[in-house]
Every structure is written in C-alpha cells, then in structure tokens.
Structure 1
Amino acid sequence: MTSADKDYPAKRLKPSLACQTCRLRKQSCDGKRPCGRCLNDRRECVEGSIVLQSPLTRRRMNELEDRIALCSQIWYAIFPQLSLDAAASRAALGGVDVAVAEVLSLHAEALRSTSTAQTASDEWREEHSPQNPLAAPSMGGLDGMGTTTAMAKGAEPSASKGAGYFGLSSGATLLHAIRRLAPGEVFPSGLTVSESLNVVNVQAISGTSRLNPKTPASSTVFSIKNLPPPADVLPLVDSYFRYFHCLTPIVHEPTVRAQLMGALPFPTNNGARVLIYMIFAMGAFDMAMSENDDNGYRFYDKARQTFRQAVIEEGSLQLVQGLTIMAIYLQKSNMPNAGYVCLGLAIRMAIALGIHTSTTNDKLSCLDSEIRTRLWWSLVTLETGCSITFGRPPCLSLAVLNTSRLPRNSEDQNLTVSDIELPDDTGDVTLYTALIVQARLARSAFDLQTRISRSLPSPTVEQIKWCGDRFQDEIRSFPPHMRPGAQGPYRLSREIQSWRARDMWSVLYRPVMLSAEWTANGRLNPDPSVRYIVDTCRSLALDNLHDIAEFANANADPHRGSEWYILYFGFQASLALLISLVSEPRHPSANIWRDSIQQTVTLFRQLGSMHELATSHAQIMENVLTLTAPSAVEDLTPHPMPNQQSEAGAIVDVNGFDFERLWLEICGSEGTELVNETQNGVFSW
C-alpha cells in the first residue's frame, strides 16, 4: 500500500440503483427489480443503467491532473516532434479520426527524415505494398528471389538497412560480384528507390482499409457463412490448386472443396480461418495477369489478424498449413525476411505437433497420416529452397529428415478417408510426383551442403566436385517418370523441378565458380577440377535458359503463378553467364552466352504480371551485355579489382577452400559485420 493510500481513505462511489421509470418520474425507488413503486402503480419497471458518480473533491482533482500529466509524458515519448495541444484542437474541430490520421502521417514523415541517418547491420525492415506487391524492393533491400535489385550506386549490400543476412549461395552475392568486376555501373541509374519505414500503407488495392492493429481478432464462432460469396472465392480456389498446390500439396483438395461447398463441416478453430484465407490470398496472387490486378492482400490481412490470436492460443495442423502458405506469399510479395521467419514458425509448430514423424496409430487414418507426410516434406523443401535462395543456414538436421517416409506417388482417388492401408506407388506421373522429386533433391542437397560446410579446416575443390557428382548420381537414380523431361500431366510443376535440380547442382559449385571468376582477370584457371566446375555451371545455366525459353514459348501462361518461377530460375541462370562475361569477355563461348542472355531479356520484358521486377532484372542484364560487348572490350586491358588477390595468393586453393575469405573479398570491408562463423569453424553459404 502506498503512502497516498494511507493518507486518504478509499474513494467511495455512489451508485444510482433507481429504475428508469422512477428516475423519469422523480420518485423514490427501493432498487429492487421490479421495484415496489412500479408494482403499486402497475407500471413497467424498466432497468436503468447504473450511474457511478465520483465526488469532485480536491483529491479527485489531483488524481485527474496526475493522469493528464502522465498521458502527456507518454505522448511526447512516442511523438516527440508533435504537439499534443495541436492534436487536441484538431480533434475538437474535425473529429478524432481526422486527428489520428494526421498524427500518423506526420509521424511517418518524421521517421522518413531520420531513417537515412540511422544504420544498423542487425536490423531489417520490410513494408508490404498493397498497390504494387512486386515492385523493386527498397534501397539495398532483398527481394523474394534473393537478389538486391535496387541497390544504390556505391552502397554495400551488408550496409543497406532492410536486406538482412545473405550468404554465398544467394543471387545477391553473385550480383554484387558482377557489379564489382564490371568495368562500369550495371545498375540502372534512373532506378527509383525508397527507404524502408516503420509505418505501413493503410489502404489495400481493393479499397478495403487495413484492420486496426489495436482491435483484437474476432472470437466469434467461424462458419462457412462468414466467408465471401462462392462466386468471388471459387476462382481463387481454382487458381490455388492449379499453381500452388501442384508444387506444394499441403492440403487435401477434395476435403477443402467439400468444406467450401458445405458437404463437410468447416473447422471452427483459428487455424482453419488462417488456412482458408491464405488459400484465397495465394490463389489471387497466382491468378494475377498484371501488376494492377488484385494480389489477395485483403485475405492475407484477415489471416494475419487471426494468426495474431491463434499463435498464442493454439497449435493445429490447419495453422501449420496456413503459416506455410503465408510464408511463400510473403516471399513472393518481396517480404523475404518476414516469410523466412513465418516458415521457421511453421516448422517449429509442425515438430511440436509431431508432424515430422511417420505416425501410425488408431487415432489417425491413412489419409490423415499421408496429409501430414506431404505437409512435412513440403516444409522441408521450402526450408531448403529458402536456405539456398538467401544463403542462410537451414534450421533442420539430417536426423529430423530421416524420421519420416516420403509421400506416396498416387492420385487422390486412390486414398480416401475410409481406407485402412496406404496405396502402392505408381509408375506414372501424379500430382505428388513433383513433391517427391523435390523432397529427394532437397534431402540430397542438404546432406551435401552440410558435408561441405563442416569440412575442417576447409573443403578442397576435389571434395566439392565429389559432392556435385553425388548430386548428379541422385538425379540419375530417379525412375523414368520422375526424371527431367518425362512426358505426362502437370508439366509446369515437372519443368520447375527440372530447373530446380540444375540450380541446386550449380549452387553446390557456386563458391568455386565465384572464386575462379573473381581471380580470373581474363585468364583461365590452370587447375582441371576448377575448369570442370566452372564449365559445368555454365552448361547448367545454358540448359536452364534454353528450357525456360522453350517452355514459355510453347506454354504461354500470362498468370503470375507461372511467370514468377520463369523470372526466378531465368535470372539465377543468367547471373552465372553474366559473371562469366564480366570476368572472361573474350572467352570462345562468349557469343553463345550473349545470345542466350539476350533471348532471356526479351522474355523478361514480356512478363506482364511481374513487369517492374522483370524489367529491373532485364535492365541489369542489358547493362552488363553493353559493358562486355566485343567493341567495348577490344581495347580493355585486364586489371585487378579492388581487394583482389594476386596469383600467388589466389583464393582458389585446391587444398583448402576458404568460404569466409571469399565472401569478405566480394562484399568488401562492410561484410565483416555479417560474418556468420561458429566456434566449430562452420561458415554459412
């Protein structure tokens, strides 16, 4: 008890218990219901609201004054540059809503003016732009494809606020190496960039305002009646199962459609709400044909508000599924760090629920067990893909990967809720063939990357080459219907896995290729293993660009669900050829590389649903082609780049490959702030 409580007695409130009828007639009332006065007069005794009155004493006035002073202190701590009196006057004239809008706008301007003077390597900020989700990211920011496409001239990627950590396998590192090796600036000089802010846009593309962050998610029972009309969402569901589901089959399509049509009861937990809204959001995102089309943000916003309440109250299979879709939605919307964190949360929740184990008990049907298996391996493949895209260490271990079987290669009609045995694998292409292929590739790539990263003191070039050969053997061990180029349905998902296999193979070799190109200085490396690795990377890149162009020309699909992967794998493959052109512009195959890159540039400029990001990539590629054109390099004398090692101290040491040294050489002195090195000498790449 405080001294104030001891000096003054407790404040007494005088409640008025009179009914409304006696109060209007100004009669005495005994406070009962019904009261005696109304019973005697035979009147209706209307319940009145209890009015609590506080005495206007000096002590009460002191309390109010102290509260006002405390509120003023809180106000100026949050808005130090804004006047509370001015805000109060504006609220009295135009209303509270107008005053709040002006305060938020002025606060945003204040943050914008001070953000340029603040730099911190241990922070990242990402702003979702509902009007244009695929615009180039903020200055130095990391887009959903792992490349910094809006880096300002002279800015180091590690010093740019909002990018986060990226390692050797990321496209950002490769692009930065190209920029430092090129004889001129490769980034568009007229590229408009903007600083990342703490305050987000308050208006969505559909015209629906964002939910008030102070308003908690609704706790009412959720049912199918709470969803938008079927005519509005069924096309989104069709789009989801056409594009996203064939690559990441984490839900059971017949069950979802039956719930939406009312044939099956809809779950009432918050996880089910997050899942269904994210299905709508992802379907809208993939269905878009231009950057002005609806991107599904309004559904994502509803899922996000529900998730805020669900994450601290429950854990369910549906919530894991919804978070998985949300992670990919955020990554594709150029919010990769938010998506990365969301995916990690989904993986942790899945492990907590035991989804990572092949559970067989009486409580789970064969269908439920198979759905859990598909979900788990989808999480594994997405985690491996994010680790490769951003060059970050994975959060899974081989022990966890070996606790679950692979999904069955069988269509949905062969497994129903009443089956007591899992169907046998078929020798044909099914909906789940792509997931099985990607799961095997992810498990193999994860194992080999772990071997390379944990080679102490440093891996040799021969060890890296051996890992690449093992990955090639894994691809060759696939049955005929799972190999690249196999005929059958679901061509988009099968082609994407073919592009992904070459990209993963190239990523295993990327550190050696980067170091070889970084120290080439216009000359070929004399070591045969290094030359083999570099030539393999270039061959894989050419094959990917050829297959992507062939697929795009034969299967013209203007939807974002297809064009996003064309842009991603096309640009990753182009980077390998671009750095080859920059480091060896007089190579005998240089003209072949230029032709392939030029065809890819033409393809990128035709991607309507990804126009701004694709145009940004295409402009960078064209700038490199211009700088490395035969006429531009005729009189160009090879010269060592800044911080480049001499031939005697070259980084490509066949007896020990130094990942950290190479990464610091490419990223410059600023990279020392982001070194991710453990006591065991493991460096993330």
Structure 2
Amino acid sequence: MAEQANPPDRARSHDIDADLVDDKTGMAKYACEQCKRRKLKCSRTVPTCTFCAEHSHDCIYSKIIRTPLTRKNLDAAEKRIANLEALLARHYSEREITRYEEDGTLPRLQGRRAPPYQHQPVASTSALPYAPPVAQPYGYPPYSSPNHPHPPIFVSAPATSKPTATPTIDIKPPLPARDETDDADGTGSLSLASNGKPPPGYLGSLSGAALLQFLQRCAADVNLSAAGAAGKCAASPSSSTTNSLTAILPDQLAGYITSYFNHFHLLYPVLHESSFRAQLAEIVPRPGGAAWTLLYYVVLGLGSMCTLTDTNEGETLTLYEQAISHVAAALFESASITSVQAFCLLANLAQKTNHVSIGTVFLGIALRMAINLGLHTEASGRHLSVFEQEMRRRAWWLLFAFDSGSQLTFGHPNTLPTTGVDVLPLVSVPDTVFTPSLTTRPQSFPDPTIYSSLIFQCFFHQMASQIVARLTYYPNLPITESLILYHEVDSLQSALPSFFFSSPPAWFDFPRHLLAWRLDNLRMVVLRHTFLKVSLMQGPVTEEEERGWAKCVDCAAEVVRSVQRFSSEAQRTCMEWWYALHFIIPSTFIPLIALRVRPASPSVIEWVDVVQSARSVLERVPHTLLKFTATRCLAIISAVADLSIARTDSRLSATNEPSAVPDSDFTNFLEMLAGQGPGFEGEAASPVQAPGLLPDLDTLLQWFTPSGSPLPVV
C-alpha cells in the first residue's frame, strides 16, 4: 500500500521560514498561532511546540508585522475592521460571531438562510391587494401571525466633556409660548375649528379630534367649538400662576429627580439611573456638554409631573421654559447620545404641557440626530462596549415608541426609516445586572423589570404602525378586513406575559394599565370607519357591520371603566392622570355619538352610565396642570346634553327646519345625561325618541375624507 501523504495544512508545520528561527537558540522568535489565540505561553520549539504536539494541532509560526503607530494607519485599520464587522453581521448571527472570537470557527456560508438582520419587505396584514411601506423595528415577534414579518431599531458612544458646575435653578419669567397654547391640545382629541380657522397643527382622520368633529356633525344643534372654548377659558390659569414662582427649593429638585426615576422611568427607561446620578454628583464626567444640561432640566420637568402632591402647574411650566432656554444652535452642530435623549424627552414634555407643534419638531430633531449617529444600525456600534450598545438600542426604541404614538394621537404619518434598520430588541434585566462593566450581553428575565413596559410598548407599536398605515392608505377598509385587524390586536394581547394580567408587582400597575388602554384604543381606531358608517347608515346594515359597531362602543366603555377604577383605587400622579385623560376623552365621544344616533336603543342606559362614569373621572382631576383639559371635555359633554347652549345657538335661530327643534322626550333625556334631572338608577329602560339631527350620509363622508383622498365607497 502506498504511503499516505500528509494533509496540506499539516505540512505547513515543517515549512518554517528561516527568518522566524533564532540562529543561537534554534527556537522560533514568536509564539505560534494556536498559543497566541489561547493566550498560552508557547515553548516555541521547532517545528512543533509542546502544546500543538500534545493536542495534534497545526503549529504555525508567522512573522509579526507592525505598521508605524500613526493616526493615518489607525484610521485605516479601524475603517477596515468596521467594514469587516459589518460584513460578518450581514451573514452571521451575534452568537456565531461571539463563537468565532472564542475559537476562530465560523459555519460555511453556502446554503445558509437569509441573514437575521437583513431588512425584509413588510407584507400586508391580511390578504389585501394593497401593502403600503411601513417602518418597523426588527426583532420583536409580538404575536403569532404569518402576515407580519418583523423588520428593525438603535446610541453612539457618549461624548464626554469636562465636569461643569451643578446646574442651579435661576428662575426667570416664563418665556413666550412656542405655539398657541390656547388652542393646542396635547391629547389630540379636543381641537375643533373655530371662527372659520382650522386647529393649530395637522390632525389626521385617525386622531381623536376627527372623532370630535364627527360628534359635532351628529349634534348639529349645539356648537361644541364654543362650548370647548368656554370650558377652556374657565379653567385656564391666570398669568400670575407662573410669574409668582421665583424659586424652586433644592429639596424639591432632588425630589423631582427621584420622582422621575420612580414613575416616568418605569414607562420609558432611556436613561441609566446610576450613571445619571453619578454625573449629577460629578463623580463621573457629564457627557454631551450643553446637551446634558438640557437633559437635566427636562428630567426635572417630567419629574415635577410625577409627584403625588398637587404640584403647582407653574413649576412644571417654568422648568419646561428653562429647558427651552437651553436649546441653542450649538446643540445642532454635533450629535451625541445625550442630545438624542434630551430632545426625545423634551418632545414628550412639550406635548404634556400642550406645546404640540414644537414637540413634534423636537422629536424630528432627535430622530435625525439618531440617524446621524447610526443608532438605526447595529454595525455602527460594534466597537463600543456591551453597555454602550444597549444604551443605543434604548434610545432608538424610545424614538420608535414616541414616533409611532404620534401616528395614533395626531394622525401623523410615520417618519421612521423603512429600510436599513437592523437594531436588536432590548434585554429585560434590572439595572443592577446590566452595568457598564459587563462584557457579555445577559439573557432577559422572565419577571417584569423596568424595561418590560418599553419592550411591550414596542411590540404594540410595531403592529400599530402597520395597522395605521393600512387604514391611512385604505380609509374605507371593508368590515371583514377590519375585523381581521381587530382579532390581530386580540392576538397581541393574548401573547402578553402573565404579569400583565394577574398578580403584578405594585410598581408595574400603571404600565400594564397603560398598555391595556392602548390596545383598546387601537381596536377603536380599527373599527372607527365602520362605526361612523353605521352611525350614518340610511339603508340596511349587515350583521358584521353591526357587530363591528357594537365592538367599538364596547371598547370605549371598557377604557372608561378601566380609567375610573384606576383613578379611584389610589392617589395618582399628574403624569398618570395625563395618560388617563389621553385615553378617556376620545373614548367618551363614542357613547355620546351612540346616544345621539340611537336614542331608542335598549343599550341606552348602559351608554349613559359610561358617559356619567367619564364625567365623574373628569370632575375628580386633582392636578392644576390638567384641570383645563378636563374642564374643556366636561363642557363638550354638557353641550351635547344641555339645551341651554342649543337655544342660544345662532344657527338654530336662522333655520326653520323642524329637525333642529328637539321634542320633550329628547329634552328629558339630555337633562338626565347632563345631571340636571332624575337619574336612571332603579328605573326601567324606556326608549326615548329624538329628532333627526344628522346631515345626509354623502355630506358627512365627504367631510370625513381627508383632502386629496379618494371618496370612500358607500
């Protein structure tokens, strides 16, 4: 038998360049590749070292060639490494790359599936002939639906600066409002055109304001714009409220920071508490320069809304104006993770103080800064530590949640990029586990952590973005397909962990309520077109349309009752009340419309009870900052149910139509609803008759269709 030849790689052990052998000792000048990889002390014996001989490894000696340590060479090396890392990330998972770093092995590329971070085109939610492009973050498979692929999310190394003096509150008179606060509406539900002028800022057909406009059409005998303005004026604070505040005590500032991390941080944990407090105490440098000071004031402003006491609204508004005063042109010349965090949170604070227009601008600034830093792609942060990479992801996910939320609140289009986004999902671990010293990314905990809320909000927004895009591109969605979307929302809710439903920790009570309100609100948005169409139907209604109409009313009732229970169970912060009002206000308009269009329905008593429950919540709002919003909504409810406004309406005096004059039964009904007459408790459900107060169907559908969109098919 012929002698078997050595494998080619094995032969290399004996082919050693003479330049690599020391002439005096006869040993290799450098350690072999196997020992260098394992960081072992190599015997350097020729042709095979002791370790390679014992383990039958190929012992390969190679010459170490070092380029001069210049900036040019380092830049070139870093650029090449970044390109190679990006190439690896396109073809291998993070686990496979980690394994390669440990043992130098990679699986073959031939026949491999598509890379896990590659963006996939978004398929339609159901078997529909349309599929508009939708931006989605990768990595959150919220529910079992083959119709929803899961596209992608993103923080650059924080730029450090020399420690600066601890910021102090030098209270100045509040700056002029950046938009018209008299008409601005942070909830996106109470803005109505008045005196022929449209509301400030764009509000799309899916916003709560569009629902209020529809209620105005149904209640044609009252002027809801005038009623809302009257309620607004009655509740607006005097200018002395903010001007009289000349100082905020240091203990209050410390309390606001604690309140921020005890409440707001549980919803949107974009900061790392220990790091922020260390920066505040100047134990470590404050990153971002002037951006950190802006972030500090924003944290104080949001924290002031998270106190349990009835904080004077002047403090929140003053802190907001202090933050605004630190927005300078220098902040836009360079971007850092701190500036992204600051502008993102400032946008949220602006919305909660009813500065909607400038809040939208701040959110756009944060998004462009994030993209400029490469927060939308994992490859741009490969050179950073595990902790810094996770901070990048937290900032991007927060941007995603805020931008997607504005779609539902204001009916705005999605502004997130639709391609090239490949950010990993967040890890749900306590901050005590995920520290800056970590070298490997930990696994998520099964129990709730402070990151659970943001993670599952992103589950929600990932699906909501697709649904809103489809409803925007296809406003007259058939009821059969609307119900498919409705059931997909059900699927998301059923896929949530058990701590969203039973025995949650006390601190998780508000995050789980908030997600439940979001889910029911999305269900109402899905069924809104059917609800409005059936409400105006002059012909027969199909069984499915009737079922969709009833489901929409039931969702609204569930939100109202949930908010009522939540607000009465314990003392709530101003921040919690703001979100409660944000969801209860549009939910109240649904039963009001039902009462107007079906006053003889057997369910009328239940609808009245829902409206009365909403009224009781609005009347109990304890925080001055929110009283004007609650009062405006109460005024609208009273206008729908109080004929004194209708009798003084100039439109009624100018018309001779018999439908404009309600009969006595309807008068009694409205007085009961307004709380001016005997209640319904203990009384049998007797139908009441109402005159035809609705315009014709064609007129209303033309009004409801956004300008430039095709008219829905009726």
How far is the alpha carbon of 1:473 from its aligned partner?
A: 1.4
Pair 1:268–1:435, CA change in 2 (3 A): closer
Q: Of 436, 442, 452, which residue of structure 2 is paired with 1:423? A: 442
Question: Who is 1:607 aligned against?
Answer: 621
How far is the alpha carbon of 1:262 from its aligned partner?
A: 2.9
CA RMSD in angstroms comes to 3.4
CA distance in 2, matches of 1:511, 1:250: 36
Match of 2:305, SS? helix
CA distance in 2, matches of 1:416, 1:505: 39
Question: Who is 1:536 aligned against?
Answer: 551
Question: Who is 2:697 aligned against?
Answer: 644
Pair 1:637–1:615, CA change in 2 (3 A): closer
Letter in 1 for 2:375: I
**8 A contact 1:626–1:632 mirrored in 2:** no
**8 A contact 1:380–1:439 mirrored in 2:** yes
**8 A contact 1:285–1:294 mirrored in 2:** no
1:131-165 Cα shifts (integer Å, max 9, x gaps)? 999x9953xx340000235764xx45xx33x5222
Q: Of 566, 572, 590, which residue of structure 2 is paired with 1:551? A: 566
CA distance in 1, matches of 2:412, 2:201: 10
Q: Of 575, 582, 585, which residue of structure 1 is paired with 2:589? A: 575
CA distance in 2, matches of 1:344, 1:147: 22
Question: Who is 1:123 aligned against?
Answer: none
Question: Who is 1:665 aligned against?
Answer: 703
**8 A contact 1:131–1:205 mirrored in 2:** no
1:471-486 matches, within 5 Å, as 471-482=489-500, 486=504
How far is the alpha carbon of 1:565 from its aligned partner?
A: 1.1
How far is the alpha carbon of 1:538 from its aligned partner?
A: 1.2
Pair 1:586–1:549, CA change in 2 (3 A): same
Pair 1:488–1:229, CA change in 2 (3 A): closer
Pair 1:336–1:598, CA change in 2 (3 A): same
- Identity across aligned pairs (percent)? 24
**8 A contact 2:184–2:354 mirrored in 1:** yes
Q: Of 483, 502, 510, which residue of structure 2 is paired with 1:492? A: 510
Pair 1:592–1:397, CA change in 2 (3 A): farther
How far is the alpha carbon of 1:267 from its aligned partner?
A: 2.8
**8 A contact 1:541–1:576 mirrored in 2:** yes
**8 A contact 2:228–2:635 mirrored in 1:** no
CA distance in 1, matches of 2:373, 2:708: 31
Question: Who is 1:335 aligned against?
Answer: 355
How far is the alpha carbon of 1:482 from its aligned partner?
A: 4.2
1:96-107 matches, within 5 Å, as none
Q: Which runs of 5+ in 1 are unaligned?
A: 1-128, 196-200, 210-227, 647-660, 668-673
**8 A contact 2:350–2:358 mirrored in 1:** yes
How far is the alpha carbon of 1:231 from its aligned partner?
A: 2.9
How far is the alpha carbon of 1:268 from its aligned partner?
A: 5.6
Letter in 2 for 1:464: S
Q: Which runs of 5+ in 2 are unaligned?
A: 1-172, 234-238, 644-664, 671-686
Question: Who is 1:219 aligned against?
Answer: none
How far is the alpha carbon of 1:547 from its aligned partner?
A: 1.3
Question: Who is 1:593 aligned against?
Answer: 607
Question: Who is 2:479 aligned against?
Answer: 461
Question: Who is 2:374 aligned against?
Answer: 354
Pair 1:629–1:620, CA change in 2 (3 A): farther
CA distance in 2, matches of 1:602, 1:360: 52
**8 A contact 1:136–1:612 mirrored in 2:** no
The question of 1:404 aligning with 2:419 is answered: no
1:389-445 Cα shifts (integer Å, max 9, x gaps)? 111211125546x62222111111111111111221111111111111110000001
The question of 1:504 aligning with 2:522 is answered: yes
**8 A contact 2:599–2:689 mirrored in 1:** no
1:536-575 Cα shifts (integer Å, max 9, x gaps)? 1111111111111111111222x31121111111112112
Pair 1:190–1:394, CA change in 2 (3 A): closer
CA distance in 1, matches of 2:502, 2:519: 9
How far is the alpha carbon of 1:186 from its aligned partner?
A: 5.6
**8 A contact 2:208–2:586 mirrored in 1:** yes
Letter in 1 for 2:429: S
TM-score for both structures, normalised by structure 2: 0.63
Question: Who is 1:42 aligned against?
Answer: none
How far is the alpha carbon of 1:306 from its aligned partner?
A: 2.8
**8 A contact 1:476–1:483 mirrored in 2:** no
Q: After the TM superposition, which of the residue ranges 181-190 and 595-604 deviates more from structure 2?
A: 181-190
CA distance in 2, matches of 1:585, 1:368: 59
Q: Of 154, 168, 174, which residue of structure 1 is paired with 2:211? A: 174
How far is the alpha carbon of 1:178 from its aligned partner?
A: 0.7
Question: Who is 1:101 aligned against?
Answer: none
Letter in 2 for 1:624: V
Match of 1:414, SS? coil
TM-score for both structures, normalised by structure 1: 0.66
**8 A contact 1:288–1:295 mirrored in 2:** no
How far is the alpha carbon of 1:370 from its aligned partner?
A: 1.4
User: How many aligned residue pairs are there?
Assistant: 495
1:156-555 matches, within 5 Å, as 159-160=197-198, 162-185=199-222, 187=224, 189=227, 191-192=229-230, 204-205=242-243, 207=245, 230-267=250-287, 269-287=289-307, 289-290=309-310, 292-359=312-379, 363-399=383-419, 403-455=422-474, 459-482=477-500, 486=504, 489-517=507-535, 519-520=536-537, 526-555=541-570
Question: Who is 1:619 aligned against?
Answer: 635
**8 A contact 1:359–1:369 mirrored in 2:** no
CA distance in 2, matches of 1:291, 1:643: 48
CA distance in 2, matches of 1:293, 1:206: 12
CA distance in 2, matches of 1:360, 1:233: 37
CA distance in 2, matches of 1:452, 1:194: 32
Match of 2:606, SS? helix
The question of 1:675 aligning with 2:707 is answered: yes
How far is the alpha carbon of 1:261 from its aligned partner?
A: 2.4
Pair 1:418–1:172, CA change in 2 (3 A): same
Structure number with greater CO (CA < 8 Å, separation at least 6) is: 2
Question: Who is 2:188 aligned against?
Answer: 146
**8 A contact 1:542–1:573 mirrored in 2:** yes
**8 A contact 1:358–1:403 mirrored in 2:** yes
Pair 1:186–1:411, CA change in 2 (3 A): farther
Match of 2:608, SS? helix
